[in-house]
Amino acid sequence: MIERIRFTWQLLVLSSVLMISGLLLLSRVDTGVSFNAFIVTLAYFTFVNMLVYFVISTGAQKSSGEQMVRVLLGIGLKFLLYLLYLLGYWLVIKNLEIPFIIIFFVLYLIFTFFLAAHLFKLLKNK
């Protein structure tokens, strides 16, 4: 339970730091991406990572076979949710710009490394 609270707290701190740095970067550099699109994307990434962590962490107390199923379920869920977000964004905006795609994948890498580090700690301790 403490691991979940620690993960949630660190995820919210990471999201806040990314929001502030995105605000500073987007206000100073003309990237073509609006701050609102960045905030919505960042909030969606935060929600998806929290959901995936909770799915995978529920399998940490189970047997190794069930643990692997939960890890694969979490990874598949993460992939599908990000794919649905890109599809929904494309349907609304009708044009995916290169700066948005770069921001999307930078956020994807940051949150993936963050989630992987916490999952390694969680599964190593169990």
Which portions of the chain are predicted below pLDDT 50?
Answer: none
Q: Are 114 and 11 in contact (CB under 8 A)?
A: yes
Query: How far is the C-alpha of 51 from the C-alpha of 45, rounded, in Å?
Result: 10
**Residues 45-73: pLDDT tens digits?**
999 999 999 888 887 777 777 888 888 89
In the chain, which ranges are continuous DSSP H helix?
2-28, 35-58, 64-93, 98-125
Give how far the C-alpha of residue 18 lies from the chain's centroid of Cα atoms, to the nearest Å: 12
Residue 125's pLDDT is what? 66
